[in-house]
Amino acid sequence: MALLDVSDLSVVFQRRGEPPFTAVDGVSFSVEPGQTVGLVGESGCGKSVTSLAIMGLLPRRGAVVTGSVRFEGAELLSLSARQMRDRRGRDLGMVFQDPLSSLNPVIAIGLQVTEVLERHRGMPRRQAMVEAADLLDKVGIPDPRRRLDEYPHQLSGGMRQRALIAMALACRPRLLIADEPTTALDVTIQAQILALLAELVRDTGTALIMITHDLGVVAGLCDEVNVLYGGRVVERARRHELFRRPRHPYTHGLLASIPRLDAPRGERLVPIRGSVADNIPWDHGCAFAPRCPNALGTCVEVTPQMDEEDGRLLRCHNPVQENQEVPA
Amino acid sequence: MSGSVSRSGSRPPTLGGRKERLDALAATAADGPGDAGVSLAASAWRRLRRNPVFLLGAAIIVLFVVVALLSPWLAAHDPTARLLEGQVSRARNEIPAAQEGFPLGGDQVGRDLLSRLLVGSQQTLMVGVFATVIGLAGGLLLGTVAGALGGWVDSLVMRVVDVMLSIPSLLLAFSIGALFPSPSQFTVILAVATVQIPIFARLLRGSMLAQRGSDHVLAARALGVRPRAIVFRHMLPNSLGPVIVQATLVLAVAIIDAAALSFLGLGNPDDSIPEWGQMLGGAQNVIDSHPNLAFWPAGCIIIVALGFTLVGESLRDALDPKNRR
Amino acid sequence: MLRYTLRRLLQLVGVVLVLSMLIFGWLRALPGGPVSALLGERGTEEARRELTAQLGLDQPIFVQYGKFLGRALSGDFGASTGVQPGDSAIEIFLQRFPATVELSVVAIVLAVLFGIPLGYLAARRRGGWLDNLGVVGSLVGVAVPVFFLAFLLKYLFAVQLGWLPASGRQTGGLDATRVTGFFVLDGLLTREWDAAADALAHLVLPAMALATIPFAVIFRITRAAVLDVLDEDYVRTAESKGLTTSVIRRRHVLRNAMLPVVTTIGLQTGALLAGAVLTEKVFAFPGLGEALALGFERRDYPVLQLMIIMAAMVYVLVNLVVDLSYAVIDPRVRTR
């Protein structure tokens, strides 16, 4: 049985006086125990909202969540707020993008770690402090005992993210969701944090959902990758399959727009035209069609369905062929 | 503007935040570079038009101004004529009650209360507007000079401003009012206005300082724009938002403060030309027996002050980049 | 921390110095100068000359300022000319100080006790009836002239209903022992319960009037601060840890939201004296405010200058306390 089974998950935001806005549109994927799964896409593609929906962190008012999120067989979406609260931090942990704003500025790091231990493992404060120092040590924070009494502003960006990871993993959750955990960090620190996540996941057997816009992050970490566009999964494949042979023109475009050191001299970077801003919903044809170099007449008329072909899922009328040169 | 865009950009994606970012982005793009002030005003106006708080406040202000302008024709009687003097009895503590032609009755000396309220709006409007304009002009001068010259002038001006700000403003207004042995409408305006000078000066200088390091000013300097042109063409227009907000709020404060001065005997003793604050202050001796003499002018002051406050607060919200939604 | 405190105290000295210059200038700016101000209309030419010499007004201006400063430092601000003619200004100040402190403390406690919880609840239930009522109420509260509100309370609860006394600090003829000058405290210390209750009853209406504006401001700042904090990432982090709502509210929301609120409380406390001038006059409450009101009315400059200097000093001191308490709540200030 899968650890997490998300099926047909949709999130619609409704604001008074504004038309409803569909952020996530029937997303399905699953995560096996210990597996690392990537959710990839540009900002606004629905990847963060998907993760918040899984965590039950969307506002109760204004966001309508439908579909199903099963964790170890139990339906999370039908849990009460209180039941979900018992699970968050214990069964599912989450790490956010900006480590500075994600830490409470007026509370010492120590308390921010121990409060999870007190809440879910019923540890007394003193014992929790010992455990917290141990956790900080595990995530590679030097001199952890001293750090317990320090405040977020006294830590470097990388240290802050390490502390957040320590908090998320404090109760050894079976699933960790990392939402762009390296985007706000320096490049050298990014690599360290990714290595740390990979190591922790391997050592603890925690499953990881990695949310990123950066295929480079995915390349080093994920077993399976879901590419999202306009709130829907457009391609899903094993990591190697995806990188070796991207089929969806969007995936192809994402890969082509990454600078590579090993690219032949003179090869141009190929950007994806336009931005998510001018996307159109999925009701009439493919949402990516206006930006797609492969677009056909049918693409703007018939909404493509998800098809399975050689072990991968693909939502495209005219996928990229092997060795095809995609015009920019 | 550039600040607000980059701020929302650096923040992690908030729920539904994408639309806001796009709005902000679209607004800057639509107006082209260098016209950030216009787009800010335009997007603020778009939000204000649908804000019931702003509309209510604006309606009150419009009504107030219209009444003030038309009051000579609206008033049924001469506000200075003691038409009901015969019904006033100091000994028996009697003041003319409401009657045919005098729907609110008369005041302590038998003048028509309604006519005095209507005509009083003129002076009240004048007190508010003049106090705000003088305070703004003084603050503009001080703030700009200090900000532009910098150095010891800046330090000195700001030290004095800080000290003036360290006295509760109403107390300062009383102190200035008490300077004049024979108060008049003019001294009331002066007292209320002077208090606003340090507030405006501080506001302007703060906003100038904040802009000095901002991208658009740096860009202008890099392009070799002369300092004076930077101050007048780039910095001042961008400070307009907070200044307008403050000025609107000051209009309310000025009217209330003027009433407080009258209450302390620091107001205009000549009550032939009525003013609401003066009417309210003058009613204090008869308030226990004839509260209506205080209630009517007080009600007018409260409603008008509320109108200016509502507009000022909704303007503040609309211009705050944090509230772009 | 100690150095910070010392530096701030030094700043206070600077403020008072500049303030003394302003007040000195203020007195000089009086039409006809301080002589006319002191003697009024009735001064003869001879009396004027005499007072001019006596006040040293024939000397160079910096000498005059030096003397003014010297006298001020020794607490000599001259004798009252209008409030309590003949009494020294400092005497009047000391005698009335406890009354105003008592009134201000009750007022600010009322404002904080109602402002913070209601502001918090309004933010939690944004758009609910309490929120709307509170926002409208706080906007109206700021638009009402304080003295009119005082009149309204007095008219309703003292004149019409007769529930509470209309004026003064304590019922005349009540046999109360004076210890500290704080009447409520005195009553409690001497176990004269009736005296304490009577003094408290006299405080209720003026304190309510005085508390209105601070309440309205504290309510609105609390509400805005809580709304801001609820949107913060670290609250979402706390939620993602599955913490109980009470821990999230107490530890993560309230603590951060209190930062701007503390500043506001300080500013409002420092500004209370202005409101006290109006409120104490309405209720004939014999405190500093009433002395100031009388001073303004009767142009009693010795009393006024002392009171204004004291008001500014209190204001700056209160803000110092606020900044120090800020450092207690916010480690970013403390460890800088």
- pLDDT for the residue numbered B5: 30
Is residue C43 assigned to a domain? no
- Count the Cβ atoms, other than its own, within 10 Å of residue C123: 21
Is residue C209 assigned to a domain? yes
Amino acid identity, residue B321? Answer: P
Pairwise CB contact (< 8 Å): A49 & B18: no
- Structural fold of domain A4-91+173-314: Rossmann fold (3.40.50)
In chain A, the residue whose alpha carbon lies closest to the alpha carbon of B23 is A277
Lowest mean pLDDT among A282-286, B20-24, B203-207, C35-39: B20-24
CATH number, position C138: 1.10.3720.10
pLDDT > 70: percent of chain C: 91
Q: Which residues of C60-74 are buried (b: 16+ CB within 10 A; e: fewer)?
A: eeeebeeebeeebee
Pairwise CB contact (< 8 Å): B309 & C142: yes
Residue spans of the domains in chain A: they are 4-91+173-314, 92-172
Sheet holding A74-75, edge to edge: A21-31, A4-13, A63-71, A74-75
Q: Which residues of B160-175 are buried (b: 16+ CB within 10 A; e: fewer)?
A: bbbbbbbbbbbbbbbb
Q: Summarize chain B as % helix, strand, coil (round to 5).
A: 75, 0, 25
Comparing CB atoms, the residue among C237, C244, C329 nearest residue A96 is C237
Which one of C104, C148, C301 makes the best mutation probe of the B interface by having the most chain B beta carbons within 10 Å? C148
- pLDDT for the residue numbered A73: 87
A208: which strand partners? A36, A176
Q: What is the mean pLDDT of residues A164-191?
A: 88
Whether residue B316 has pLDDT greater than 60: yes
In contact, B148 and B230? CB cutoff 8 Å: no
Which one of A104, A107, A150, A160 makes the best mutation probe of the C interface by having the most chain C beta carbons within 10 Å? A104
Comparing CB atoms, the residue among C14, C31, C311 nearest residue B168 is C311
Q: How many residues does chain C have?
A: 336
Q: How far is CA A34 from the centre of its chain?
A: 16
Give B127-150 pLDDT, tens digit per residue.
889 999 999 999 888 887 877 777
- Quote the minimal CA–CA distance from C155 to chain B in Å: 6
Range of the domain at C136: 89-335
Which one of A16, A24, A49, A102 makes the best mutation probe of the B interface by having the most chain B beta carbons within 10 Å? A49
**B→A interface, C-beta within 8 Å:** 11-13, 15-16, 18-19, 22, 25, 50
Q: What is the mean pLDDT of residues B49-69?
A: 87
Confidence band of B78 (pLDDT split at 50, 70, 90): confident
Pairwise CB contact (< 8 Å): C22 & B309: no
* CA-to-CA dists, residue B130 to A162, A249, C291, angstroms: 59, 66, 30
The residue ranking higher by pLDDT, B114 or A270, is B114
Q: Is A13 on the interface with B (CB under 8 A)?
A: yes
Is residue C328 assigned to a domain? yes
* CA-to-CA dists, residue B277 to A26, A117, B243, B294, B302, angstroms: 65, 62, 26, 10, 11
In contact, B28 and B36? CB cutoff 8 Å: yes
Lowest mean pLDDT among A200-214, B213-227, C130-144: B213-227
Report chain A's mean pLDDT, rounded to a whole number.
84
Whether residue B211 has pLDDT greater than 90: no
Which one of C104, C151, C227, C319 makes the best mutation probe of the B interface by having the most chain B beta carbons within 10 Å? C151
Comparing CB atoms, the residue among A96, A115, A167 nearest residue C233 is A96
Domain count, chain C: 1
Q: Which helix (H) or strand (E) segment is C25 a member of?
A: helix C2-28
Using an 8 Å CB-CB cutoff, list chain B residues near A277: 22, 25
A70: which strand partners? A5, A75
Give C109-131 pLDDT, tens digit per residue.
999 999 999 999 999 888 888 88
Decide: helix, strand or coil at residue A307.
Answer: strand
Q: What is the mean pLDDT of residues A296-312?
A: 81
The CATH number of the domain covering residues in B122-323: 1.10.3720.10
- Quote the minimal CA–CA distance from B225 to chain C in Å: 38
Pairwise CB contact (< 8 Å): C295 & B178: yes
Residue spans of the domains in chain B: they are 122-323
Q: What are the DSSP calls for A97-116, one per residue?
A: S-HHHHS-TTS-HHHHHHHH
- Count the Cβ atoms, other than its own, within 10 Å of residue C154: 23
- Count the Cβ atoms, other than its own, within 10 Å of residue B234: 21
Q: Which helix (H) or strand (E) segment is C24 a member of?
A: helix C2-28
H and E: helices and strands count for chain A? 11, 12
Pairwise CB contact (< 8 Å): B11 & A96: no
Pairwise CB contact (< 8 Å): C146 & B288: no
Q: Which helix (H) or strand (E) segment is A13 a member of?
A: strand A4-13
Lowest mean pLDDT among B137-151, C33-47, C180-194: C33-47
* CA-to-CA dists, residue A113 to A159, B18, B165, C114, C253, angstroms: 14, 32, 44, 34, 17
Distance (Å, whole) CA A326 – CA A273: 12
In chain B, the residue whose alpha carbon lies closest to the alpha carbon of A183 is B12
Using an 8 Å CB-CB cutoff, list chain B residues near A48: 13
The residue ranking higher by pLDDT, A205 or C55, is A205
- Quote the minimal CA–CA distance from B48 to chain A in Å: 15
Using an 8 Å CB-CB cutoff, list chain C residues near B178: 295-296, 299, 304
Q: How far is CA C79 from the centre of its chain?
A: 24
Give B177-199 pLDDT, tens digit per residue.
887 777 888 888 989 999 899 88
Give A114-169 pLDDT, tens digit per residue.
999 999 988 898 999 998 998 898 888 889 899 999 999 899 888 899 899 989 98
**Residue in the structure block whose two tokens are 């004939």:** C284
Whether residue B101 has pLDDT greater than 80: no
Pairwise CB contact (< 8 Å): B181 & C31: yes
* CA-to-CA dists, residue B77 to B141, B239, C32, angstroms: 43, 46, 42
Distance (Å, whole) CA C19 – CA C69: 11
Distance (Å, whole) CA C154 – CA C163: 10
* CA-to-CA dists, residue A271 to A230, A256, A259, angstroms: 18, 7, 10
C173: which strand partners? none
Is residue C84 assigned to a domain? no
Distance (Å, whole) CA A245 – CA A314: 12
Q: Summarize chain A as % helix, strand, coil (round to 5).
A: 35, 20, 45
Q: Measuring CA to CA, which residue among B161, B164, B190 is closest to residue B177?
A: B190
- pLDDT for the residue numbered C32: 56
